[in-house]
Structure 1
Amino acid sequence: MMPVTDRIEIQKYYRALLAKDPSYVGIFYVGVKTTSIFCIATCRAKKPKFENTEFFRTVKDALDAGYRPCKICRPTENANEAPKQVIDAIRISTENPKIRISDALLREHQISPEIVRRWFKKNYGITFQAYQRMYRINQAYQELKTGKTIMDTAFDNGYESLSGFAYTYKKIVKKAPSNYSNDNLILINRLTTPIGPMFICATEQGICLLEFVDRRMLETEFRQLQNLLNGVIIFGENNHILQARVEINEYFAGKRTIFTVQLHTPGTHFQQAVWDCLKTILYGEVTTYKQQAEKLNNSKAVRAVARANGFNRVAIIIPCHRVIGSNGQLTGYGGGLARKQWLINHEKIIINHRC
């Protein structure tokens, strides 16, 4: 946990804070020393004096420094939610998946390409154009599966030549379009929650990953998932992601205690048994790694159970946050112990309100 220390960067962020600049939403979080709260760039609250501010790059850093989320701008919920111009750019792109959305077209809709570019680079690590290409290739992949010819698919998706389509397809999917039947696309998208943004991945079979975007080893998880499923991750959306988005929102709203979305969780036989055991822990309750091992008829496998829990790639839906140490203390959680405590408290509050 470290605040931003570069003086020039701090001054730039403070000016953006005073201007309520939406292009800096998710770029920094400001901690106010006099109130111990932290905010996003567009917060409507009275602006603090420069000497009373500290700037952080992630929600986790601000939380670790002891700051509480502002109740006005709700930084953990809105931290990396896209500014309106980015939302509009994504909407135009998804409504017109076969059209390349150029900078000129964005400007025609009063959208700044610079704001869109900065947000995508910060939050996805890719350009908006790369994001569009992935969506177009996913669209093409779905059409090839229906039996549509490669030529028709290429030209109907806006490509001017077969070679251009084949080059882009192979660059993204790692295989030629003629081998589409052997492809296993893993679609990835993003959602916001009251405790921070998350990445969500799904195959045709179901959800295969749901993790907070600042989770340690996330890149390693992506590589492992692609190896296990012999697939490639590209940006897109399917019915499993749409359903999970609804169910996750209902969970945080206190309206859902059981998830019904299908899962696709590759792993060893032991890992599968441990994850199935996790799914039997009732909403609002907690158990220990020892109790989990005993339930699996292997009381000596406590460490192995804990390790398998750590390999769970589907947070919240497979509720590893409901497992604590035998001494009652919180132990490892990929999203951070603060989030683990929040989730446990959230469920207890909902249960108590229903009693």
Structure 2
Amino acid sequence: MPDHDDLYAALLARDPGYDGRALVGVTSTGIFCRLSCPARKPRRDNCRWFADAAAARAAGFRPCLRCRPEGQVPPLVATLGAALAADPARRWSEADLTALGHDPSTVRRLFRQHLGTSFLQLARAARLRAGLTTLTQGGRMIDAQLDARFDSASGFRQAFARLFGHAPHQMRGAADLRADWIDTPLGGMIAIADDDALHLLEFTDRKALPQGLRRLSVMAGGRIGLGRTAVTDRAEAALARFFAGSDGRLDLPVRLRGTPFQTRVWQELQAIPAGRTRSYAQLAAAIGHPTAVRAVAAANGANRLALVVPCHRVIGTDGSMTGYAGGLWRKERLIALERGYGIT
């Protein structure tokens, strides 16, 4: 293997040329990654180097969910992912991909296969994230639009409304609930919380997110603004521990807004430990309604607190990966991650 200085320089440069040649284990998190991983880079003295994933696992490290060091991530996905991480505000187009010598349809297919979404959708979400940060910090609408690299104010408002279910001006000012973005290895999430509890936690690419936000807005009397509370900070820290493989509990205060039946299902979901799964039939029996399998499945789909109310831990009776609003690819990775918590 190359020496420590060369490996650490390649790590800082996110050099995809080292994929397949070396992996880095980060002692502060217990995670091992590709050197091209887009995650924030560790200190030099927290790095250990391995020739392959087997050696890293033997040393007690867990695979990173972001760069998938054990999977066969195509070089094209790794290269473009690193480019997006290096400049998240860049406005990408199919013409840019073509200019780099890539076929846009191939890029779209590979990203959807490995990350559940297209490269251009990822790029658009990253830009919108920059605009949201500006608004959350009290910046002007025009500054948010420019930070998000949108040509027009109307385009920015429309993109924002598609994500949040409200135009940005409707989320400015005083509010009882605050909405902000949390980055995770499986994609961005929108968290909505007040000073006491978490009301919503959803992946930003969930199709029903805008509808769920509008419904929550009605329940809250229309008082949802931009920003975060101490509960948001607590949720972000808990998610970081969860994805680092150090704590699968996600023990957070939540507000369950649903019918009595839905609430009972969600409470039973919270009782499923990380590393275990249940079938819909088992879940229905556990709440005392063994024939209400379809209703239990519908309650699962209505859950607005992804991961914290772990509906991804429910699978088919035959062990198959059934539908998950966040995408089956996420469900598979979450269950694989949780198997590492040592619960059987």
State the TM-score, normalizing by the size of structure 2.
Answer: 0.61
Q: Which has the larger radius of gyration?
A: 1
**In structure 2, distance between residues paired with 1:55 and 1:191:** 29
Aligned to 2:264: 273
Which one of 255, 262, 283 corresponds to residue 246 of structure 2?
A: 255
Q: Residues 76 and 195 of structure 1 are in contact (CA less than 8 Å); yes or no, is this contact kept in structure 2?
A: no
Which one of 160, 174, 186 corresponds to residue 124 of structure 1?
A: 160
Equivalent position SS for 2:342 = helix
**In structure 2, distance between residues paired with 1:195 and 1:35:** 19
**Is structure 2 residue 336 aligned with structure 1 residue 345?**
yes
**In structure 2, distance between residues paired with 1:241 and 1:49:** 41
Which one of 100, 103, 108 corresponds to residue 53 of structure 1?
A: 103
**In structure 1, distance between residues paired with 2:261 and 2:179:** 27
**In structure 1, distance between residues paired with 2:289 and 2:128:** 50
User: Once the 2 structures are TM-superposed, how far is the Cα of residue 92 of structure 1 from its aligned partner?
Assistant: 10
**Is structure 2 residue 214 aligned with structure 1 residue 223?**
yes
**Is structure 2 residue 164 aligned with structure 1 residue 199?**
no
User: Once the 2 structures are TM-superposed, how far is the Cα of residue 327 of structure 1 from its aligned partner?
Assistant: 1.2
Aligned to 2:294: 303
The root-mean-square deviation of aligned C-alpha atoms, in Å, is 3.9
**In structure 1, distance between residues paired with 2:160 and 2:199:** 19
**Is structure 2 residue 317 aligned with structure 1 residue 323?**
no
Opposite residue 160 of structure 2, the aligned amino acid is Y
Q: Residues 197 and 213 of structure 1 are in contact (CA less than 8 Å); yes or no, is this contact kept in structure 2?
A: yes
Q: How does 1:86-101 map to 2 (within 5 A)?
A: 86=130, 90=133, 94=137, 97=138, 101=140
Aligned residue pair count: 250
Q: Residues 36 and 67 of structure 1 are in contact (CA less than 8 Å); yes or no, is this contact kept in structure 2?
A: no
Which one of 56, 74, 77 corresponds to residue 37 of structure 1?
A: 77
State the TM-score, normalizing by the size of structure 1.
Answer: 0.59
User: Once the 2 structures are TM-superposed, how far is the Cα of residue 250 of structure 1 from its aligned partner?
Assistant: 1.1
User: Once the 2 structures are TM-superposed, how far is the Cα of residue 195 of structure 1 from its aligned partner?
Assistant: 1.0
Aligned to 1:157: none
Opposite residue 150 of structure 2, the aligned amino acid is R
Opposite residue 258 of structure 2, the aligned amino acid is G
User: Once the 2 structures are TM-superposed, how far is the Cα of residue 275 of structure 1 from its aligned partner?
Assistant: 0.3
**In structure 2, distance between residues paired with 1:287 and 1:257:** 16
Structure 2: stretches of 5+ with no match in the other structure = 1-72, 87-96
**In structure 2, distance between residues paired with 1:79 and 1:249:** 24
**In structure 2, distance between residues paired with 1:350 and 1:284:** 6
Aligned to 1:177: none
Q: Residues 134 and 147 of structure 2 are in contact (CA less than 8 Å); yes or no, is this contact kept in structure 1?
A: no
Q: Residues 309 and 320 of structure 1 are in contact (CA less than 8 Å); yes or no, is this contact kept in structure 2?
A: yes
Q: How does 1:285-304 map to 2 (within 5 A)?
A: 285-304=276-295
Equivalent position SS for 1:334 = coil
**In structure 2, distance between residues paired with 1:234 and 1:92:** 10
**In structure 2, distance between residues paired with 1:211 and 1:83:** 16
Q: Deviations over 1:296-343 (max 9, x none)?
A: 121101111111111100000110000001011111111010001110
Equivalent position SS for 1:282 = coil
User: Once the 2 structures are TM-superposed, how far is the Cα of residue 254 of structure 1 from its aligned partner?
Assistant: 1.1
Q: Residues 190 and 199 of structure 1 are in contact (CA less than 8 Å); yes or no, is this contact kept in structure 2?
A: yes
Structure 1: stretches of 5+ with no match in the other structure = 1-32, 107-111, 142-184
Stretches of 4+ aligned residues off by more than 6 angstroms:
74-79
Residues 83 and 131 of structure 1: is their aligned pair in 2 closer, same or farther, counting only changes over 3 Å? closer
Question: What is the percentage of aligned positions where both structures have the same residue?
Answer: 28
Q: Residues 191 and 201 of structure 2 are in contact (CA less than 8 Å); yes or no, is this contact kept in structure 1?
A: yes
**In structure 2, distance between residues paired with 1:309 and 1:195:** 20
